[in-house]
Structure 1
């Protein structure tokens, strides 16, 4: 399975020719325009830095509701959650996507703003890939992200939605999250794209934006 980070919460996930793009951002963010084409696009919530499907090229299916989506090649379950710790009063709702793509199971937490109960955590256990926000302020912070990631215990975790050298959002950098792990558990890939099958003995991979 190939994973490319475009920046913020937007990834291209590709497995056996099927392509998914998550949370595309608009041109107010400093990251490059997303040029990949996808078969499916997931939108966790209706904010400009997560829902700019109109900026994507190609013919694709948009999944942006709690109905999720299912056909003969993919199953996407949408789990209701909140963008804040006050049941959506501050920033509204958020959708967690649990994606079954052939033999791979992926979770994109969107802009999750609160801890998860054991029922949801149990549903997310034994996944292949966890995409988790770590920057705080608008989402869970590094401490809560670490606790959640440890409970979910995915084969591989990739942090997202953190401050970078070109993004001036009032959120923290990725190191507050990665510093909670032993150094030998984390790899800073220094590139935007990896093949997860080639990652050995690492719990966390930090990608560089495209």
Structure 2
């Protein structure tokens, strides 16, 4: 595996949309124009105990932290580049911005820093909040912009937004589509997983437009983005269990 550099390769052609595949927890595979981005691969431990490991082919790997549930980039197939530090990178014709944010409510003193990733792919502006646990600052808001798709943790515990904090982050980012991440599922080892289920978040946003998906895959077309409000999309984890 190669650490991501800042070289500027040829720019990819325009895409009809972005394919998003949830792999469990905060791990996703984003694909457009033949370029695949894997975010936050994990080990089978705690809240991810019974998920299949996300060992998928990717051209680039984004890591929010080096905690085992969102930063296990070893043993991935192929030879993907890996980005794990804040900064600006241009890879595969895509501009990536990694923005540092505390991974706890103590300014990072307990769990260090989390990297929030922002990029555009397939005509869709993406923000992956990783394991953010602190409110979005004015400076971070400017850097993150107005995403079409925001992936936001909702399960609480000491390392992630709880339901109320996730809703507040949605209010700051105002994404067209929001996907909740990092909550307890049937894959969790309940003895060691500190996260809540998705239900407290759903109870809090029950007046919003919420749509469940019967699989772990979704294609987002720029022309089909909501024109008003935020659409909450929830993936199905059943096909992801080991």
Q: What is the root-mean-square deviation of aligned Cα atoms in Å?
A: 1.9
Superposed CA deviations along residues 32-80 of structure 1, whole A, max 9, x for unmatched, are 0224211110011111111111132122110011134213511111101
What TM-score, normalized by structure 2, do the two folds share? Answer: 0.80
- Pairwise CA distance, 1:120: 1.5
Larger RCO, structure (CA 8 Å, separation 6 or more): 2
**Structure 2 equivalent of residue 21 of structure 1:** 38
| 1:207 and 2:224 correspond | no
| 1:196 and 2:220 correspond | yes
Q: What SS does the corresponding residue of 2:204 show, helix, strand or coil?
A: coil
The structure number with the bigger radius of gyration is 2
Q: Can you give the 5+ residue segments of structure 1 that lack an aligned partner in the other structure?
A: none
Deviates more, 1:73-82 or 1:115-124: 115-124
Q: Can you give the 5+ residue segments of structure 2 that lack an aligned partner in the other structure?
A: 1-17
Superposed CA deviations along residues 142-165 of structure 1, whole A, max 9, x for unmatched, are 101011112211111101000012
Q: Is the 8 A contact 2:176 2:225 kept in 1?
A: no
- Pairwise CA distance, 1:111: 0.8
Taking a change above 3 Å as real, the CA distance of residues 10 and 189 of structure 1, as seen in their structure-2 partners, is same
Of the three residues 61, 77, 101, the one matched with 1:41 is: 61
**Structure 1 equivalent of residue 187 of structure 2:** 166
Which runs of 4 or more aligned residues in structure 1 lie more than 4 Å from their structure 2 counterparts after TM superposition?
Answer: 198-202
What TM-score, normalized by structure 1, do the two folds share? Answer: 0.92
